[in-house]
Amino acid sequence: MSHESQRTTTNERGRIRVTGFDTSVFEDRDERFDWQQDESTVSRDRLTRAWERFKRNRTALVGLAIIALMLFTTIFARPIVIEGITVQPFSLAPFDPTNSNFAALNEAPTATHPFGTDWSGKDILSRVMFGGRYSLTIGVITVSIALSVGVPLGALAGYYGGWIDEVIMRLVDILYAFPFLVLAIALIAVLGQGFWNMITALVLVVWISYARLLRGEVLSVKENEYVTAAKALGARDRSIIFRHVVPNAMAPVIVQATLGIGTVVLNAAALGFLGLGLEPGSPEWGSMLARGRSSLIQGQWWITVFPGLAIFLFVLSINLVGDGVRDAVDPQGDTSGGAGVRE
Amino acid sequence: MSLQRYLIKRLLVMIPVLFGVTLLTFSLTKMLPGSPVDYILQFQETTPGLRDQLRAQFNLDEPVYIQYWLWLRDAVMLDFGDSLISDRSVSGAILTRLPKTLLLGFMGFAIAISIGIPLGVIAAINNGNTVDEASRVAALIGIATPNFWLGLMLLLVFSVQLGLFRVIPPDKAVLSPAMLKFVILPAITLGTASSALIMRLTRSSMVEELNKDYVRTAKAKGLSERTVIVKHVLRNSMVSVVTVAAIQVAFIVNGSVVVEQVFSWPGVGRLLIDAITQRDLPVLQAIVLMIAVTIVFVNLVADLLYSWLDPRIRY
């Protein structure tokens, strides 16, 4: 009788009711073979295998090393103080990046100022080291938020189809009509300048590429037998989407997101250069170039060369890593390098 | 599906997109904090009487959907009113700038294609060896270089240090020799990233084609390597390159906003940036709308071209 009650509870959960067979047969088998599905080991294996493939890619490792180095310099450039508590006491940058020294304006590179000083006497080396904080956080935060918007919407559109798909994809089509930077510029014109406004504008531009990409993948993944099986077993849509469909459709999105950090950093710097990024005078790499043109014409090349080099090096490294990630998680994916740059 | 039916279906899909694009552009100004009248007055103090007069003149007393309708009706006729700064008509200001941007865009596009496709072909022929690897690294470098920085560096080396080019554009007609000479550096700046993308795409689609059976057949019947590549492989691999080249239009528009700023190029991109810094909303709206509508149509042409070149593709 105990078997009987157990059977009704397990089988009534889903959409279909299974009657007429004795579940104890299966329970017996489970006991006999001591077999159980352990999902954590499965996904860990997938990650381990991806890492194994990634490790073999030398250029990707070089990219990773450069990023690690830049991360290290920018974290230790100046102390980090959060709510009065010094989290990171070291200060590798020789000068305060926001401190103007009016005795040393527009100085060419010397031993004291290896990268020279700018029009207000700020040490460019210190600013380049410190400025990484802005660019890197903008890149990572923007891509993370964009993923958390784009992935669910893309998954819903692809899985359900119908009017949900129509609404989401038409919205994506509309936003796709605006070139990346033009849309970001227009949004910043409305929102105003500043760190979080810039991130908001970039997120609104970036999420569409993840949604579109994931939707396409979901369309093919949802045709797999294991999805049909999960449906037949009565799993809820939510768990089918987020436990079975999305993890198997994520590979190209992960690649795109890695490369996307580079795209976002590049465009954030372009906004800074146009004077639409952070507050004027912030040691952000792009903003440092905003007034660079006039100094350049006067021959003060160091003001533009070094911040630009930092952007270039970071974006290049991200692209190297992104290529490695593509080969690692999505071996069949296209190999047309640098697809992260959205039009 | 025949091409005609596909065309009709594609045009129908465009309607909601165009509607959304206009709605989004229109609502840009509605999202601004404060009263629209302040933006029209450029935040100068005036009498309440004049404010009311302006509200009536710009239909601000009407409900929002009527305002949208009136704006859309004028926009379709290319009437965006007058600039808030210069009192010129917005379309007039854009039209005088447009030829310069088109020149820059075409030159940039020409550079992107004339560098990207040959290099892609070379990389594909050398698939897997050092030449291919070098082209991969070159493409990654091309994509990672910020276009504004590349522009500044070219300006530094070729204009400031070598003195080969002017630092600011000459005040000449668009197709005059002086202008065509000046446009070289901005066009290179604009075309670099695109050429890298086109190169990678040409390479990957050609590598795919090279592995197909018909290539082996063509070689087996004694055609030279050159004939096989130029007459068969290149043609077939151009199908996907065409679409991406069309997408590059958006990329070029994107880049021209920045590049025009670097080289003080008096085009639409600079007008856009000026409109934002001066809060000249009609100009901002008109440019954003113009760009978006252009891109919607370019995408349409790309899709049609794609399905005309490869009749198997209909979606």
Tell me if B116 sits within 8 A of B194, measured CB to CB.
yes
Give the minimum alpha-carbon distance from A23 to chain B in angstroms, rounded to a whole number. Answer: 47
Residues near A92 by Cβ (< 8 Å), separated by ≥ 6?
A73, A76, A77, A129
Residue A315 forms contact with B (CB below 8 Å): yes
Q: Which of B76, B107, B128 is a domain's end point?
A: B76
Contact between residue B199 and residue B132 where contact means Cβ atoms under 8 Å apart: no
Residues of A within 8 A of B192 (CB-CB) are none
Rounded to whole angstroms, the Cα distance separating B273 from A276 reads 9
Q: Which of B23, B47, B76 is the last residue of a domain?
A: B76
Residues B69 and B199 in one domain: no
Would you state the pLDDT for residue A338? 37
Helix or strand holding residue A111 (H, E):
none
* Nearest alpha carbon to residue A319 among B162, B69, B140: B140
Compute CA distances B57 → A256, A321, A334, B84, whole Å. Answer: 48, 56, 55, 14
Q: Does B314 map to a domain?
A: no
Both B135 and B175 in one domain: the answer is: yes
The residue whose two tokens read 């600039």 is B83
- The residues in B 268-307 lying below 8 A from A, measured between CB atoms, are 272-273, 276-277, 279, 284, 288, 291-293, 295-296, 299
Which pLDDT belongs to residue A210?
92
Per the listing, tokens 């500044």 go with B152
Find chain B residues with C-beta within 8 A of A343's C-beta.
247-248, 250-251, 254
What is the structure's pLDDT at A36?
59
Helix, strand or coil, per DSSP, at residue B89:
strand
Q: Would you say residue B86 lies in a domain?
A: no
Residues B61 and B101 occupy one common structural domain:
no
Q: Do B32 and A190 touch (CB under 8 A)?
A: yes
- Give how far the C-alpha of residue B15 lies from the chain's centroid of Cα atoms, to the nearest Å: 21
Domain contains B191 = yes
- Residues near A135 by beta carbon (within 8 Å), at least 6 away in sequence: A265, A268, A269, A284, A285, A286, A310, A311, A314
Please tell me if residue A197 touches chain B, with a CB cutoff of 8 Å: no
Q: CA gyration radius for chain A?
A: 26
Low-confidence ranges of chain B (pLDDT < 50): none
Helix axes A124-160, A251-273, angle to 10 degrees: 140
Return the DSSP state at B156. Answer: I
Which of A177, A297, A341 is opposite residue B296, by nearest beta carbon? Answer: A177
Helix ranges (H only) for A18-123 are 23-33, 39-55, 58-75
If asked whether residues B121 and B56 sit together in one domain, one would say no
Asked if the structure places residue B127 within a domain, the reply is: yes
List the one residue out of B261, B138, B104, B248 whose CA is nearest residue A341: B248
Q: Check residue A211 and give its pLDDT.
A: 93
Q: Which residues contact B315 (CB under 8 A, 6 or more apart)?
A: none
H or E element: which one contains B219? Answer: helix B213-220
Q: Which residue of A has its CA nearest to B151?
A: A293
Q: What is the pTM of this model?
A: 0.83
* Same-domain pairing of B183 and B60: no
Other beta carbons within 10 Å of A98: 14
Q: How far apart are CA B57 and CA B71, in angstroms?
A: 13
Using the 3D structure, point to which of B18, B47, B76 is the last residue of a domain.
Answer: B76
Residue B188 lies in a domain: yes
Contact call for B257 and A185, based on CB within 8 A: yes
Give the residue from A64, A52, A144 showing the smallest Cα distance to A331: A52
Contact check, Cβ <8 Å, B156/A296: yes
Contact with chain A for residue B167, Cβ under 8 A: yes
Give the mutation candidate from A166, A293, A304, A305 for the B interface (greatest B CB count, under 10 A): A293
B220 in the same domain as B134: yes
Shortest Cα–Cα distance, A245 to chain B (Å)? 23
| pLDDT tens-place values along chain A, 343 residues long | 444 444 444 444 455 566 666 655 555 555 555 555 555 555 566 778 888 888 888 888 999 999 999 988 888 877 777 777 777 777 777 777 777 777 767 777 777 777 777 777 778 888 888 888 888 999 999 999 999 999 999 999 998 888 999 899 989 989 988 888 888 988 888 888 888 989 999 999 999 999 999 998 898 888 888 888 888 888 888 888 888 888 888 888 988 899 899 999 999 999 988 888 887 778 888 888 887 778 777 777 888 888 889 999 999 999 989 888 888 887 665 444 433 333 3
Same-domain pairing of B158 and B287: yes
Instruction: Examine the domain organization and report whether B138 and B254 are in the same domain.
Output: yes
Domain annotation covers residue B85? no
Domain assignment of residue B246, given as a range: 91-309
Nearest to A182 among B16, B137, B253 (CB): B253
Q: Nearest residue on chain A to B29, judged by CA atoms?
A: A190
| One-letter amino acid for residue B239 of the chain | V
In the prediction, which pLDDT does A11 show? 46
Q: Please count the structural domains in chain B.
A: 2
CATH classification at residue B97 = 1.10.3720.10
Q: What is the pLDDT of residue A7?
A: 43
Please give the backbone phi and psi of residue A333, each rounded to the nearest 5 degrees, phi first. -60, 170
What is the reported pLDDT for B1? 61
Residue A43: the pLDDT is 57
Distance from CA of B110 to the nearest CA of A (A): 17
- A336 part of contact set with chain B, CB < 8 Å: yes
B27, part of any domain? yes
Handedness of CA A87, A90, A93, A96 (dihedral sign): positive
Is B84 domain-assigned? no
The answer to whether the complex's ipTM is over 0.95 is: no
A294–chain B Cβ distance below 8 A for any pair:
no
Residues across chain A: 343
Task: Say whether both B70 and B98 belong to one domain.
Answer: no
Query: Is the CB of residue A293 less than 8 Å away from at least one CB of chain B?
Result: yes
Inter-chain contact A292–B152, Cβ cutoff 8 Å?
yes
Q: Which of A180, A318, A338 sits opposite B254 (nearest CB)?
A: A180
* Same domain assignment for residues B34 and B111: no
Chain A touched by B146 (CB under 8 Å): yes
Domain shared by B65 and B143, yes or no: no
Distance in angstroms (rounded) separating the CA atoms of residues A184 and A172 = 15
User: Residues B127, B59: one domain?
Assistant: no
